[in-house]
Structure formats: C-alpha cells, structure tokens
C-alpha cells in the first residue's frame, strides 16, 4: 500500500502505554448524518435527519455532525431545521477547507464547523494535485474565516494515518495557530491497529497543544478498538455513527464505543443507552441497511440463549454470560431451543409455559428436539417445543 510501512509484529511496547487508561472527559460527536449518509447508496429524507438528530440529542450525544451545507439542494434546509430545534447538543456542519463552504455552513446557523483537508502526501499529490504549503494556506484561510464568524472549529486531518508525522505536526500547529478548537485525526482508509494508533496519537499530542478527536474506519474491523486506543493516548473527542454506518466498511459505531467505554474502560458517559436498539432500528430502516442479528450491542440475537454451555450458566445467573443486562440497550432476553440446546434451555422453555417436567422427561426430550432442529435446519418455535413435550408425556400415559 502506498505511503504505508507495515508494523513490526515483534515491536516492544512500554508498560506505561499498555496500562494507559482512557481519561475523562470524553465527548461524542456523532456523524451518522454526514459520514453515515455519505455511504454509497444511502440517502436520508430531511424528516429522517431531523428525527435522528432529535434521538441523538435525547440520548445525550454531545455534538451532531448534521451534513454538508455546500452540497446545496435540500441539504441546507435539513441542517437549518435541526438548528431550529435548539437541541441540547452542538450542531456541526462539514466543509472542505474552502471559505465558500464555510459561508454555507454559517448560513445554516450551526455553532460548529469541521474544516476538512487531506494531510497525506498521497492525497495531496494524487487527489488535490497541490503541495503541502497550499494545504496549510487553505487551512489558515478557512479557519480564520470561521473564527471571525464565531464558529467552533474542528480541523479534520484527512488520511492522517498515512501522513508524514512531521508534516502532521505542522498541519496541527497551523490549525492551532489559525484558531482551531480541535483537530480530528482521521484514519481515513482504516489501516491502523490500536497499538499503532496509540503511538501516533500520543506522539502528536506531545508535539502540539490542541484537543484531539478520533475518526476511525472499519476496513480491517478495528474502528472501535482504534478509537478507544486514541482516547487512551489522550484524545478527548470521538466521531461515531449509529450502527457504524459510513463509507465502505463504515466508522466506529456509537453503541459499541459507548458500551466498550463503560464496560472495558470504566468511563461512563451518561448516555441513555436504553434507546440504542430503537435508534439502531430506525437508522437501519432509514438507511436501507438491515441490522444483522449479531451486530455488537444491538443485534437481536445477543441475549438469546440457545447453546447449552451458555444457557446452563444463564438460567442460574445471567451475569455468567452477560457483561451488561439486555434492558440497558433495549433488548429482550430469551431462551431458544436449537441444535446446540441441552437440558437447561428445554427445562427453562417448558417452565415459561407453565410446565414442570421431570429431569427424566427433559433428558429424553433433548435428543428429540435436537433431531428436529437438525432436520428443519433452524431453531424451534416455542410451540414446537411444547408440542414435542406433550407428545412425549401422552405417549407415556
């Protein structure tokens, strides 16, 4: 890959780095309405955008990236509508590092802007067809304009993960000196792993005094982990999307990030997580991208117990297999009989329907139900379990 040197598998890391903790405060800037909508094939209607913004604000998300005003058409109208709601969240609009773009944002009445430009030589040469100095000038002009209009400014370093580290420092300093309030570190192509993310973000923070935001992509399945690594290194802002919606394989997903922060890192953001499932379903519908049953945090099958190993623990004590309770994310807990089910699930299921089978009955029923599930190539409906039990007991009588 151009502009990229593979990481050493046998690198050694300091104890300080490995035991680093995420430090509060952590602010969430959700970009479902911008990077999410930018996904090939996704278009939100304006009323959907407004609804999603309302839900995000109600949930306690700190900042909402509402769209790209310079796109014209209906886009500005949607952003204006969101601004008019006076939600308890900052509303940010996305811009290229062009004064004209920022004017469109200012028209919409937003309180914050992201000013985005590539920081890697690959992009600067092959996409922008300019040089580094031109990039820095563009930043200065756009940021100064935005600051003179009293806007909160995030400068987005696009493709930061492939940028020359020295130039990235210069890029960040330029943004800082022009008055930017934070810098967004974008792993645009999703090519970092968490340990590398940490090293690079840490190095940048040590050089430049500017608050950092993480924007990570999921091309190798590591968006959430990379975002957390950046927070461990000292970033305080994180850019997420509902369901991880976003270009290609998507972004760090809001629900994964919030729950991972709470349960893996011990940082509680005070987000109303019980709305997660509802919001995820809404975004799935509006984006035309159905939610996989196995989606982390919000997938419908996460609290369904079928295999005996897990169910035998859960019937005694759900905490044996649940790090958080299903209510916390708006999901139900249920037991399902399938190929991998054993006595615990079968007993539990019959119990739910008011039966009190003996151990012997359950023992005989398990292979019968397993054979059925195998023959039908699916889990069984509750009705089928109850009927098999009735058939067994009738036969005996």
Per CB under 8 A, contacts with other proteins among 134-163 are: none
Q: How far is CA 254 from CA 85, 109, 227, 245, 352, in A?
A: 22, 26, 11, 10, 35
Q: How far is CA 384 from CA 148, 167, 207, 290, 388, in A?
A: 69, 65, 65, 28, 6
Nearer to other proteins (CB atom), residue 264 or residue 325: 264
Closest approach, Cβ 375 to other proteins, in A, equals 9
Q: Which stretch binds other proteins (CB under 8 A): 176-184, 205-213, 223-231, 384-392?
A: 223-231
Buried b (16+ CB within 10 A) or exposed e, 171-203: bbbbbbebebbbbbbbbbbbbbebbbbbbbbbe
Q: What is the DSSP string of 299-364?
A: -TTTTEE-SHHHHHHHHH-GGGT-SS-GGGGT---EE-B-TT--HHHHHHHHHHTT----HHHHHH
Closer by beta carbon to other proteins, 342 or else 357: 342
241 token code pair: 């999307």
| Beta carbon nearer to other proteins, 98 or 386 | 98
Query: Which C-beta is closer to other proteins: that of 248 or that of 351?
Result: 248
Residue 148 CB, shortest distance to other proteins, in Å, is 26
Chosen residue from 211, 296, 330, 343 binding other proteins by CB under 8 A: 296
Q: Which tokens hold the place of 19?
A: 């035991």
Spell out, one character per residue from 83 to 112, where the chain touches other proteins: x when CB under 8 A holds, - when not.
-------------x----------------
Shorter beta-carbon distance to other proteins: residue 35 or 361: 35
Given the complex with other proteins, which of 106 and 247 has the nearer CB atom?
247
Size of the chain in residues = 397
Cis peptide before 25 (omega within 30 of 0): yes
**Chain residues 378-397 in contact with other proteins, contact rule CB under 8 A:** 378-379
Which tokens sit at 56?
Answer: 């995000």
Site for other proteins in 304-343 (CB under 8 A): 304, 306-307, 309-310, 312-313, 316-317, 319-321, 323, 336, 338-340
Residue 260 binds other proteins (CB under 8 A)? yes
Residues 1-60 that bind other proteins (CB under 8 A): 1-4, 6-11, 13, 17-20, 37-41, 43-45
User: Which alpha helices (DSSP H) does 89-192 contain, by range?
Assistant: 99-108, 121-126, 132-148, 165-178
Cβ at position 327, least distance to other proteins in Å: 16
How many chain residues touch other proteins (CB under 8 A)?
106
């Amino acid at each position: 890959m151009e502009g990229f040197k593979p990481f050493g598998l046998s690198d050694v890391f300091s104890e300080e780095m490995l035991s680093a903790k995420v430090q509060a405060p952590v602010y969430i800037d959700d970009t479902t309405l911008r990077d999410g909508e930018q996904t090939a094939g996704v278009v939100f209607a304006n009323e959907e955008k407004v609804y999603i913004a309302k839900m995000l604000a109600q949930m306690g998300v700190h900042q909402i990236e509402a769209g790209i005003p310079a796109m014209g058409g209906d886009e500005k109208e949607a952003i204006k509508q969101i601004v008019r709601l006076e939600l308890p969240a900052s509303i940010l609009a996305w811009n290229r590092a062009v004064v004209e773009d920022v004017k469109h944002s200012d028209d919409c009445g937003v309180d914050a802007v992201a000013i985005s430009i590539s920081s890697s030589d690959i992009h600067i040469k092959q996409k922008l067809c300019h040089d580094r100095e031109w990039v820095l000038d563009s930043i200065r002009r756009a940021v100064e304009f935005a600051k003179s209009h009293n806007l909160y400014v995030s400068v987005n370093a696009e493709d930061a993960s492939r940028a020359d580290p020295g130039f990235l420092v210069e890029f960040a300093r330029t943004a800082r000196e022009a008055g930017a309030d934070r810098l967004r570190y974008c792993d645009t192509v999703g090519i970092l792993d968490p340990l590398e993310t940490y090293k690079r973000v840490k190095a940048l923070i040590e050089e430049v005094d500017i608050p950092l935001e993480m924007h990570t992509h999921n091309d190798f399945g590591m968006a959430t982990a990379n975002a957390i690594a950046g927070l461990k290194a000292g970033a305080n802002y994180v850019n997420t999307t509902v369901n991880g919606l976003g270009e290609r394989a998507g972004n760090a997903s809001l629900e994964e990030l919030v729950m991972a922060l709470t349960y893996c890192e011990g940082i509680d953001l005070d987000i109303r997580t019980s709305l997660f499932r509802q919001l995820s379903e809404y975004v799935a519908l509006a984006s035309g991208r159905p939610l996989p049953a196995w989606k982390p945090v919000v997938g419908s099958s996460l609290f369904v117990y079928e295999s005996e190993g897990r169910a035998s623990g859960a019937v005694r004590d759900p905490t044996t297999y649940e790090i958080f309770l299903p209510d916390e994310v708006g999901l139900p807990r249920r037991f399902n009989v399938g190929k991998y089910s054993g006595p615990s699930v079968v007993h539990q299921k019959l119990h739910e329907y008011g039966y009190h089978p003996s151990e012997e009955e359950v023992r005989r029923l398990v292979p019968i139900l397993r054979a059925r599930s195998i023959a039908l190539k699916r889990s069984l409906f509750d009705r089928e379990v109850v009927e098999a039990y009735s058939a067994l007991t009738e036969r005996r009588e």
